[in-house]
Structure 1
Amino acid sequence: MDTTFKSGFIAIIGRPNVGKSTFMNKVIGQKIAIMSDKAQTTRHKIQGVLTEENAQMVFIDTPGIHKPKHKLGDFMVNLAENALNEVDAILFMINADEGYGKGDQYILDRLQKVNSPVFLIINKIDLIHPDDLFPLIDQYKEKYDFKEIIPISALQGNNISRLLEVLKSYLPDGPQYYPGDQVTDHPERFLMGELIREKVLELTREEVPHSIAVVIENIEKRNTADTIFIQATIITERKTQKGILIGKQGSMLKSIGKKARQDIENLLGTKVFLELWVKVKKDWRNRQQNLQEYGFRDDEY
């Protein structure tokens, strides 16, 4: 009987909105990365841990690689690119429905410099006709020498188990880095902020979603109450955005709070009282001090 234990770190990279976070949540079996149909949702490296009897796979969901427009964008792209140098395997994910684009070439150029095995993961195959898959595979084969090409549907779970088996075969023998019941390396405080931000992405429009940050100000359990009290501030760049976030008679903020509270209760397994404020910090995405203050630190690289 084979008693070797395999373990390793696997980066998931790709253009914004190809389904990296959906894939991560499906593999881990619970929500640890926020999902949105708006591009550039992920801003940090989110590590998801999958532990099986003979292997532990640590997935790193990186921000979508894109052309930065501000210092926050620079931070996100640096984070994604630096992840490539410290992993045992790389999943380059593309959207089957969109096919090859300029953004893919930008990533492929960077992959020329890495030593880790690279797998092409064609996601959202449920959105295309099976006959359209083969020309897509041929197109990418010409551009890079992938170890393997695996079509999946992260949303429906199609072919995920095969992908995991293939990955395991490439991982080195190694230790179990995290306890078997741990699914992420991020503290609950970080996940709470992300769940609030997800609801802003879901409920607001146009210029608001990407100009916000969420700061968890206070978490406390008062007396013997079985409720956790959380106070959080949503930071935005302009007064007009603050108005949108609060809404008529506070209606938008109430909706954001209600939806976020439900997800945080699921995360913590307890009742939650969530209090939200909105503050304006002009041009915070370009101010180094604000970026550090809101958790975008260079030591994440």
Structure 2
Amino acid sequence: MTSPDQPYRSGFACLVGRPNAGKTTLTNALVGEKVGIVSNRPQTTRHAIRGVVSRPGGQLVLVDTPGLHKPKSLLGQRLNDVVRDTLADVDVIVFCVPADQPVGTGDKFIARQLREVKAPVVVVVTKTDAASKKQIAEQLVAASQLVEAAEVVPVSAVAGDQVELLEDLLIGLLPEGPRMYPEEQTTDEDTERQIAELIREAALEKVRQEVPHSLAVTVEEMIRRPDPKNSDGELVTVHASLHVERPSQKPMLLGKGGSIIKQIGSEARVGMEELLGARVHLDLHVTVLGEWQDDPKKLNRLGY
């Protein structure tokens, strides 16, 4: 319960930044659990992912967005559109600028987009655990010059430094309003998309070269039945497809004798069993979906 002089606040905060700026890692840290996949590959996030933070004084809905970038494909254009559509309808903007990399053209491009947005901007200098004190101090100055900001905050999502301070600050900037999600809910992502993302995350860790950008995952079928090995449990069979753009990319995902795809399945299954609270049998197939990143119908089919 909140006291009369501290009204309950609720609203949306959109995280923006160039690719690989630490937006999803920060979202997961604020929520306190994993709601979005993480890798060191740019454009890992391809949807606006909502994470819900519920506190006695308010409810903060974080919207983690794809990295704004100069698009090289129709997919890239659509990812940028996701960000711009989200920016137009939130209460606070969290502009993530990594501490371990100089401010660049990508950051300046995003800053120009934010000048047209009415919501207050909080600049967060991320990844402070990966930078020296001197780098952090210089980046705080450089970041503060990018855009007019309500606050500029250094944070390490990995180490947990200043995460709670940022959370309090963001809730304080929200309008007064009622809770929008049940207190125990941490995301509104549907289960099939979460499963597809866990598979893609595992695959991103195993492949190199051009495959990460060309990879998409769809869940074709989920079958739930009693677990024959546990009378109180459930066995979920998941049939999923990993789509690549060129025939030459297929063996990169499969590996010799299917070694890579087996590793992908084993790693993804751990997260899926935690998500579903059940034993999982995972059946993966690799298919070639020619040049899907520039084909509107194929993009629609894949959910982009």
| TM-score range normalised by the length of the shorter chain | over 0.9
**Contact 2:238/2:280 (<8 A) preserved:** yes
Cα distance per residue 1:202-223 (max 9 Å; x no partner) = 1111111110111101101135
Aligned-pair Cα RMSD in Å:
1.2
Cα distance per residue 1:52-88 (max 9 Å; x no partner) = 1221100000000011111111110111122111000
**Equivalence for 1:161:** 164
**Equivalence for 2:286:** 278
Indicate which of 143, 165, 170 corresponds to 2:173.
170
Tell me which moved more, 135-144 or 214-223: 135-144
- 2:151 equivalent to 1:142: no
Percent identity for Structure 1 against Structure 2: 38
SS of equivalent to 1:135: helix
1:142 deviates by 2.8
**Equivalence for 2:231:** none
**Equivalence for 2:242:** 234
1:181 deviates by 1.1
Could you tell me how far apart the structure 2 residues matched to 1:179 and 1:189 are? 21
Contiguous gaps of at least 5 residues in structure 2? 229-233
Could you tell me how far apart the structure 2 residues matched to 1:157 and 1:229 are? 36
**Contact 2:126/2:155 (<8 A) preserved:** yes
Could you tell me how far apart the structure 1 residues matched to 2:226 and 2:97 are? 50
- 2:273 equivalent to 1:265: yes
Could you tell me how far apart the structure 2 residues matched to 1:184 and 1:103 are? 29
Cα distance per residue 1:211-256 (max 9 Å; x no partner) = 0111101101135642111000111111111111111111111010
Equivalenced residues, count:
296
Within-5 A mapping of 1:70-81? 70-81=73-84
Tell me which moved more, 217-226 or 276-285: 217-226
Instruction: Output the TM-score relative to the length of structure 1.
Output: 0.96
Tell me which moved more, 203-212 or 220-229: 220-229
1:132 deviates by 3.0
Tell me which moved more, 134-143 or 66-75: 134-143
Alignment CA distance shift 1:140-1:223 (3 Å): closer
Could you tell me how far apart the structure 2 residues matched to 1:31 and 1:196 are? 14
Contiguous gaps of at least 5 residues in structure 1? 297-301
**Equivalence for 2:257:** 249
Indicate which of 128, 131, 141 corresponds to 2:131.
128
Could you tell me how far apart the structure 1 residues matched to 2:149 and 2:284 are? 46
Alignment CA distance shift 1:37-1:118 (3 Å): same
Indicate which of 35, 38, 42 corresponds to 2:41.
38
Could you tell me how far apart the structure 1 residues matched to 2:216 and 2:182 are? 31
SS of equivalent to 1:67: coil
Amino acid at match of 1:283: E
Could you tell me how far apart the structure 2 residues matched to 1:135 and 1:196 are? 38
- 2:72 equivalent to 1:69: yes
SS of equivalent to 1:242: helix
Amino acid at match of 2:58: A
1:92 deviates by 0.2
SS of equivalent to 1:105: helix
Cα distance per residue 1:164-195 (max 9 Å; x no partner) = 11112111111111111111111111100000
Alignment CA distance shift 1:221-1:142 (3 Å): closer
Cα distance per residue 1:14-67 (max 9 Å; x no partner) = 010011111111111211100001111000000001111221100000000011
Could you tell me how far apart the structure 2 residues matched to 1:207 and 1:144 are? 34
Instruction: Output the TM-score relative to the length of structure 2.
Output: 0.95
Amino acid at match of 1:170: L
- 2:115 equivalent to 1:112: yes
- 2:23 equivalent to 1:20: yes
